[in-house]
Amino acid sequence: MHSDGDHIGAPMASLGPMVPVVSPRAADTDPRQDILGLAREDLRMALLAIGVPDRQANMRAKQIWQWVYHRGVTDFEAMSNVAKDVRARLTEHFRISRPEIVDAQYSSDGTRKYLLRFGDGTEAEAVYIPDEDRGTLCISSQVGCTLNCRFCHTGTMKLVRNLTPGEIVAQMMVARDDLGEWPASTDNRRVTNIVMMGMGEPLYNFDHVKKALQIVMDKEGIQLSRRRITLSTAGVVPMMLRCGQEIGVNLAVSLHAVNNETRDEIVPLNRKYRLEQLMEACAAYPGTHNARRITFEYVMLKGVNDSDADARDLVRLLTRYKLPAKVNLIPFNPWPGSPYECSDWDRIERFSDLVFKAGISAPIRTPRGRDIMAACGQLKSTSEKKRKSETLREQAALAQI
């Protein structure tokens, strides 16, 4: 996980509480419609459906939108500028949800990982990564993943389903709740950047991701600039142009290899969309220029993709397609059962130097959150382990009866 975008000049606000707050609750049986994640027009239509007069619907939708996304409220009674009878009707028919926080882990480096359980019992993770001048929230787009990249722990999970727009936005809401940064402000905020780099492939859930990010970018809500949002894809070529045209956020590409043979092995999607097709799609991505480069993610795997020849081939590849590019070199984050080792540090530095000397930025990303399995490629629902241990305890208890 990483962040792109401009640095913020103002000092960061202080962190929220350092003790993780876990919010267990029973399965969701609330029949009321959840309005988190509704587009503005959908919210207006929902208000009309419960009897809000047409002449009031726009105003009420705007008021509710600001309370939900600017102030972070989850209780209609807190909406003091909405008439009391309207608040009662809203409470009767609607709710403003938060997912259950099954587990919240705080790393020694300040990284925070949230395991979130949604209404149907499925789970996904979000990770907050603080730096001196920014705070990046890594958001999941799916429960599980279908890509099976061989170096990625998340890829060992089966794809369960796409997350809804509300469930994607909810990850932002949970982080802001935890960091204590309501009401929203463009000054001194903790979450300054978003990366769609959590569990799942965002471009396989395009419509829901688009709706969620439009809410996050809305000028009367969370107000996050599109230049502070980066969407990462493993190379779903047919959707990349639409992403640039319809969402317009920064693009990151999980490259990881400089030839089809190696990429076929470690990023199986390459067998469907070849490296040449991927690079052509990158060259056609709208709005790229030297101040808004495409980020190429490159995980450093010992003896697989880390040679001097690989570094030179990477430079040739990016130069051939005339791409304004930045390469993030990612030291491989090990996980139990992984088939790879991380490249030696001096090898990573040598690789970085070769790319830098060719005029392409190639910083080495500092691993964050390794001690809580929150680093890049490590996200996998910790609830799997928790469920196994709970099952064992139950079995042991039954054996004693």
What are the residue numbers of the active site?
Answer: 125, 376
Distance in angstroms (rounded) separating the CA atoms of residues 7 and 76: 36
Most distant CA pair in the chain, distance: 70
Distance in angstroms (rounded) separating the CA atoms of residues 148 and 157: 8
Q: What is the DSSP string of 95-151?
A: E----EEEEEEE-TTS-EEEEEE-TTS-EEEEEEEE-SS-EEEE---EES-SS--TT
**Single-letter amino acid, residue 272:** K
Q: Per DSSP, which regions of 291-397 are E strands?
A: 294-300, 325-331
**Single-letter amino acid, residue 293:** R
The residue assigned the tokens 């170096």 is 151
**Strands 294-300 vs 325-331: parallel, antiparallel or unpaired:** parallel
User: Are residues 123 and 383 in contact, defined by beta-carbon separation less than 8 angstroms?
Assistant: yes
**Token duo for residue 392:** 């064992």
